[in-house]
Amino acid sequence: MSATISRARSQLAVAILLFFASPSLVARENANTNRFHPALNSKGLALTESGELLRHLGWTVALLGNYAYKPVVFVDANGDTTRTLVSHRTMADLVIGLGLFGWVELSLDLPLVISQDGYRPQDPATPLQKFSVGDLRLSLKAALLRPKRRNLALSFQLTSSVPTAPSQNSVGERVVALNPMLNLSYFNHLFVAFNIGATLRTRSVTVGDVRFSHELDARLGIGYRFQPANLTLFTEATISTPLSGRIFQHKEETPAEWLAGVRWQIGYVHLLAGGGIGIIRGVGTPTARAFLGIAVSNDIGDRDGDGIPDGADRCPDDPEDKDGFEDSDGCPDPDNDKDGICDPWVAKKGLLARYANICKGIDRCPDDPEDKDGFQDDDGCPDPDNDKDGICDPWVAEKGLLERYRSICRGIDRCPNEPEDKDGFQDDDGCPDLDNDLDGIEDRLDKCPNEPEDWDGFQDDDGCPDPDNDNDRIPDLRDQCPDHPETYNGIDDTDGCPDQLAELKDTEIKIYTKVYFETASSTIRSRSYPVLNQVAAIINAHPELKQIRIEGHTDVLGGRRYNLHLSFFRAKAVFLYLTQKRGVKKGRLIYKGYGFDRPIALGRDAASLSKNRRVEFKIVKRTAK
């Protein structure tokens, strides 16, 4: 029994020695000049493997074609081509991968030669087969570091090539080769992957005069994914060199290639395209290469762990907040209603600073946007009735939400921040009516809130109209002297005026009634014609009155400039009436407006304002009779 075990150990030792033996100790075979070995799952790039594995029962099926121009040439020490073994080659790789338990992945790659132009290395007279199968690659990958939320993955991969290609066709070797490799990758929007490993052959192989045995292999890939298009631009570089003392010494033994391309992920489908050039023209490195492929995989990743596959996730590195609002796009929504106030989960997760450029504060109504009208705008809740008067703020109707807020308010509030006073007067407009009759006296002081004061200078502060100020039984509308009762003496007893409206004094012609004008105007009301007619009669009857100044005065309401202007034109209007209508000579009259500079009553009450609105006739020059 012990002899049998000893003999078995000896045979195993010899086998291991033969596998790793120096090429000088083994036979020579034709080499595989195909250096285009695609990544074996959908996580990597064109050639560079990702450190990430397929999930449990996750699968990938891919077909990747490539065209190589002059992939096998021999060059001299100056880099000049001495002969071309293969001038054109078109291939396709069928790749199938399966993930198990999240820790293991099994894959195969079957290369197919679609077409190639060239001749056999050992028989230049015999052309290569146009169509053939390459060496089958079988791979076992094991996870050493799974990404989870760190976005960093590390795996060990062992690939074995099985000699399935026809002999002397430059796409296979009649030897078994093992390819152990470490795959390290980092991914976010930026993807970086680095593969380092070796190719270990049971026997050395040759292409022409170039011999290959054990090799050191390295790949570097960098890509950037653009969201939400799921488009990745990438670039890759690969290099191989002997694992002997000739490392990086001979160009023909050191093939190196650079590629660039684009990957577009549409759900479960990946489209791949790109091209590249040979950097170091070793055997198997083409002058130029183009590739095009498609992959289908049920494992499109979920890097942020939100349950939405990366291919369908518009924000694959930011987990969906799962609050019932747009939860299918994979993006967190820090402000569902887009009102600039953060949803509660943002504060709960301590992410207010992260989303400070989008929102601030905590939204009490995350799905209803704040109405931003200057009223309680920091709580995030719309306020359909700011003043709580039961009438909806205007934005409710503008957004077609009257029915939604029907239990709170109705109609459209013209004064959303001032509650309606609900006094039975225009209560449906939402505005408080502090002066229902618009007579300038607030309802709380107005004895007749729904009847406007007539503002005729008589008891104008009680808010009630006075239809007959002087109580002479002649309504003010027909009373030419509404503030002076008619003297019923049989002389013009229907005009409402006493017999004397104006009287000559030492320094002025005093009038016993006001000169009335239209509001904010210099137009004389007809009710003032009688008093002006008497003033004209006095002037015309007294030639000793050489010059009389007509003075216009106003109350203090309004600006000084405005009132000076108004008083001037009112004085001028009286001047024109006396000269043009009543025959007073222009040389005997002058006029001037004083605005509110010369009040005769102080205060801003209605009575004082009325007294200050007046016309006076001052005697400037007078001679003896």
State the Cα–Cα distance between residues 16 and 19, nearest whole angstrom: 5
- Supply the DSSP symbol for 16: H
Rounded to an integer, the average pLDDT of 172-179 is 86
Rounded to an integer, the average pLDDT of 139-160 is 89
Rounded to an integer, the average pLDDT of 528-552 is 93
What pLDDT, on a 0 to 100 scale, did the predictor assign at position 465?
74
Domain boundary among 251, 271, 297: 297
Q: Which residue type is seen at 367?
A: D
**What size, in residues, is the chain?**
625
What pLDDT, on a 0 to 100 scale, did the predictor assign at position 193?
97
Chain-centroid distance of CA 466 in Å reads 64
Sign of CA dihedral 474, 476, 479, 483: positive
Domain count, the chain: 2
Q: Which residue type is seen at 1?
A: M
Rounded to an integer, the average pLDDT of 366-377 is 77
Looking at mean pLDDT, say which of 3-12, 432-441, 504-513 comes out highest: 504-513
Does residue 574 register a pLDDT over 90?
A: yes
State the Cα–Cα distance between residues 251 and 444, nearest whole angstrom: 105
Q: Does some domain include residue 2? A: no
What pLDDT, on a 0 to 100 scale, did the predictor assign at position 15?
38
Q: Does some domain include residue 417? A: no
Q: Does some domain include residue 370? A: no
Q: How confident is the model at residue 467 (pLDDT cuts 50, 70, 90)?
A: confident
Q: Does some domain include residue 327? A: no
Lowest mean pLDDT among 285-294, 392-401, 450-459, 501-510: 450-459
For the stretch 183-214, pLDDT in tens is 999 987 899 999 999 999 888 877 766 777 88
Angle at 193 between CA 192 and CA 199, to 5 degrees: 160
In the chain, the percentage of residues whose pLDDT exceeds 70 is 88
Here the CATH number for the domain that contains residue 232 is: 2.40.160.40
Label residue 594 exposed, middle or buried (CB < 10 Å: 0-12, 13-18, 19+): middle
Query: Pseudo-torsion of CA 353, 359, 365, 368, nearest 10°?
Result: -160
- Supply the DSSP symbol for 299: -
Lowest mean pLDDT among 109-118, 257-266, 332-341, 598-607: 332-341
State the Cα–Cα distance between residues 295 and 268, nearest whole angstrom: 8
For the stretch 4-50, pLDDT in tens is 444 444 443 433 333 333 333 333 456 788 999 999 999 999 999 99
**SS3 category, 615:** strand
Q: Does some domain include residue 35? A: yes
What pLDDT, on a 0 to 100 scale, did the predictor assign at position 8?
40
Q: What is the DSSP string of 431-443?
A: ---TTTT-SSS-T
- Supply the DSSP symbol for 444: T
What pLDDT, on a 0 to 100 scale, did the predictor assign at position 78?
64
pTM as predicted: 0.51
The region, left, alpha or beta by phi > 0 then psi within -120 to 50, assigned to residue 209 is alpha
Rounded to an integer, the average pLDDT of 251-274 is 92
Q: Name the token pair of 272.
A: 């791949």
Sheet holding 508-511, edge to edge: 502-504, 508-511, 614-622, 545-553, 589-593
Sort strands 29-30 and 205-207 into parallel, antiparallel or unpaired.
Answer: parallel
Q: Name the token pair of 223.
A: 């890509």
What pLDDT, on a 0 to 100 scale, did the predictor assign at position 27?
36
Q: Does some domain include residue 559? A: yes
Q: Does some domain include residue 322? A: no
Give the structural domain span for 130.
28-297
The region, left, alpha or beta by phi > 0 then psi within -120 to 50, assigned to residue 229 is alpha
Q: Does some domain include residue 12? A: no
Domain boundary among 297, 330, 353: 297
**SS3 category, 185:** strand
Here the CATH number for the domain that contains residue 578 is: 3.30.1330.60
Rounded to an integer, the average pLDDT of 284-306 is 85
- Provide φ and ψ at 295, rounded to 5°: -135, 145
Domain boundary among 297, 322, 342: 297
